[in-house]
Chain A
Amino acid sequence: MKRWIPTILLVALWGVVLFILLTPESPNGHGFQHSRFVAMDQGGNGADRHESLFIAGWIFGSLLIACFVSLLLWGTKKKEHGLLFLVGGLIYEGIFGMLCFSYWKSLTDSNVAFIGPFPASVSWLLFGIWLIPAFFIGLYVFFYDRWIFPIESEQKFKMLVEQRSKN
């Protein structure tokens, strides 16, 4: 493992998490009881409660995605195909960026744009963030015998098992 990658990611994560935790929270910043229904919450004004932390939140989310994709690449045996993971990671980051952008835009627009049956930002979440792992699943399935468990690894493993059973 190249030590600088986890070091940078951890330091960056701590930086943004501490910034978030030390930033004063607006009143009812993470929801309050609905005015009419007792078991329901409301979020209130999105601009008010997110204004001070929106950029930090976007960086936090982007760092998480970078961590996840780095872990996926780390789980492959051959790292020379990292370009594909970089492409997947950039798409992932792009989708998250679109989610944040469309949410922020919806706060100022009088009419909320819809993509399919949901507001655009929720569609980015459900049809983008939820489904983007299909790209990495595809890589796992199609390149399993080249990147994850190639034939030479399989042969070495068989030898190890045989050796151990002899002992």
Chain B
Amino acid sequence: MEEYRSLIVLVSVVAYMAMCIGVGLWAMRRTKSTQDFFMAGRQLGIIVASVAVFSSTMSGWGFVGGPGLVYKMGTSSFWMVISTSIGMCITFFLLGKRLRLFAELREPISLPDAVTARYGSPTTSLLTAVAILLGVMGYLATQILAMATVLQSILADVSWIGLLSIQACVAISTAVLVFYCVTGGIIASVYTDLVQGIIMVIAAVLVLVAAITTVDGGMTGMSQTILADDPEAMSPWGTLGMIGCLSWYFIFVLGACGQPHVITKLMMTRRVEDARHMLPVSVVGYGITALLWIAIGLSMRALVLQGVHAELTNADDAASQFLQHYAHPILSGVVFAALLAAIMSTADSFLNIGAAAIVHDIPRALRGQSLHRELLWARTATVMIAVVAAGFALYTGDLVALLGAFGWSTFAAAIVPTVAIGFNWKRATPLACNVAIVSSLLLNFSLKLFEIELPHGFHGGAFSLLVSLTLFYVISVLSPPQPIASDIEAIMDL
């Protein structure tokens, strides 16, 4: 039975990877310019763009780390899950129309390009690109490591393959990722996101059913078991407590409109009014995939407390243990494919915006023009970033964890003021943006590097965001107003 299960999982994963390669080849024929490579020629339909938005938001961490957090802390991480619905609302209300208008009028191929159009400041654009690049390297390295770890555990269960080294697994998984990102750019990325998103939704629904039927008494049984052991773990704050949870709510809600790999997709749609329909599709899609996070986490905690399942030595094993012991082999296959899908759908977006930062944004900010033969360099940069991130993942140990952990907070504290607020507020100045970005980078890095823990479990990223928002607002109000290009000013009035 175990060999049969392993084989099904392997076949599902191989089929999924073959699909990614196929999409890459198909998208290569549609990628003729840098606009196509980075912006999909602004031709994405509502469904494709919506699924790309939610599947990029739900990373592999959500599929592995999420259930692990519920296992470890009870309901605390529910605040991360529920933050996405209001977070996406704020993102679309503030940026859904605005970024798309910028995209059509000025034809930017990246977020820092749009920042240049808004503020007319190469320094602000450079700092935005640097913040993006730093966040991308950290996030991408953790995604590659997660992808390789998953692949290694899948292959280890197949007797005729055995245990491959982590280096070999990094090479295989990165090769597939790089292949479709290099050949098809963002077009391949969003169309694989579409398939990946659908797989994730199906997997989440099936896992929810499996979890409910596995534990005696279903969801109520899980709640009662956890409650009987520790009432706080089944309270709205989990074991983390009220203040920690609310600080998570703050950083994950507002941080949603600062995630460059997500908001860049708002510039890629065919029509301005597509945002109207994308919002509900993205929110519902994410909501369904998040059921896996909740269902596996609660059921594994309950099963261990009931003595049905052996104790876990590592909370992050919750998802794989559940699939191995309580899911039908075919469901395991679907979920493992979904897991790789969740990782890849986020990683490909990072590769794309990272390549844009290197070949387009930073050269433009420094020398006033981008590189010649930009499409060729974009493909080269995609390979380079993936290789560096893979090396980073394998050989820098704690640094990866450090960068990965501060990724969301960095994006949030650096980009929310500059883009989400500044693109809607004419009084915002480049100086305020520069100070907000630099302060957020320094603060986030310092808190992580020196392992400073704030009291009551208050999230360091939430504190950084509050500081950068305040600096941005106060400096904007106090510094003299800056001229804005007339066309940009006109679309800020719309």
Contact = CB atoms under 8 A, between A and B. Distances in A.
Interface of A: 1, 3, 6-7, 10, 13-14, 17, 20-21, 23-25, 29-32, 34, 36-46, 49-50, 53-54, 57, 60-61, 64, 67-68, 71-72, 74-77, 99, 103, 106, 112, 114, 117-119, 121-122, 124-126, 129-134, 136-137, 140-141, 144-145, 148-149, 153-154, 156-157, 160-161, 163-164
B280 A137 contact: yes
A165 B85 CA distance: 38
- CB-based closest 8 A-B pairs: A43-B232, A75-B93, A30-B457, A31-B239, A117-B219, A130-B82, A43-B239, A144-B276
A140 B78 contact: no
Given A75-B93, A141-B280, A157-B494, A61 B246 contact: yes
B144 to A, nearest CB: 25
A125 B243 contact: no
A9 B4 CA distance: 59
A149 B277 CA distance: 13
Given A57-B246, A136-B89, A121 B235 contact: yes
B456 A156 contact: no
B73 to A, nearest CB: 5
Provide the main secondary structure of the chain B interface: helix
A41 B239 contact: yes
Given A37-B304, A99-B236, A160 B93 contact: no
A21 B244 CA distance: 11
Contact of A72 (B73, B93, B242): B93
B89 A57 contact: no
Provide the main secondary structure of the chain A interface: helix
Interface of B: 71-75, 78-79, 81-82, 85-86, 88-90, 92-94, 96-97, 101, 104-105, 218-220, 222-223, 227, 229-244, 246, 249-250, 253-254, 272-273, 275-277, 279-280, 283, 287, 301, 304-305, 311-315, 424-425, 427, 454-458, 463, 466, 469-470, 473, 477, 487, 490-491, 494
B168 to A, nearest CB: 28
B304 A68 contact: no
A160 B487 contact: yes
Contacts of A67: 254
